[in-house]
Amino acid sequence: MKKIINTNEAPAAIGPYSQGATFADLVFSSGQLPLVPETMEFVEGGITEQSRQSLENLKAVLEEGGAGIDTVIKTTCFLSDMENFAAFNAVYSDVFGTENAPARSCVEAARLPKDALVEVEAIAYRK
């Protein structure tokens, strides 16, 4: 049975969708923007800070669903500009490491919601 994920530790959805959902032992996150949950404003700074905030938000959704960064199977990463690829990768590897890194797609999007620099979604399994 599907269960909707809802946590105050990640930004509220800004549209008709949930932060994430679980089904059986899988956890699916919606795309996580670099919004600070308490203010619903972007974290201050550039791609490095936005990448870290998006991944922190992702972690919060996964944990609420019973998973974690260490159980992520696949991520899809959206960048507003591929010129930010190296900076994004630096933060991404800090969070996921290289030994247990999930499968990943990373694409440039013409425009992200609220003109974010980055958005990340994931599929993980519950611990």
pLDDT tens-digit readout, 56-67: 999 999 999 999
Query: Which of helix, strand or coil describes residue 30?
Result: coil
pLDDT at 26: 98
Regions of the chain short of the pLDDT cut 70: none
Task: Give the pLDDT confidence score for residue 57 in this predicted structure.
Answer: 98
77 is catalytic: no
Q: Which pTM does this prediction carry?
A: 0.97
Which of the residues 36, 87, 95, 106 is marked catalytic? 106
Q: Which fold has domain 3-125?
A: 60s Ribosomal Protein L30; Chain: A; (3.30.1330)
- The single-letter code of the amino acid at 100 is N
What are the sequence ranges of the domains in the chain? Answer: 3-125
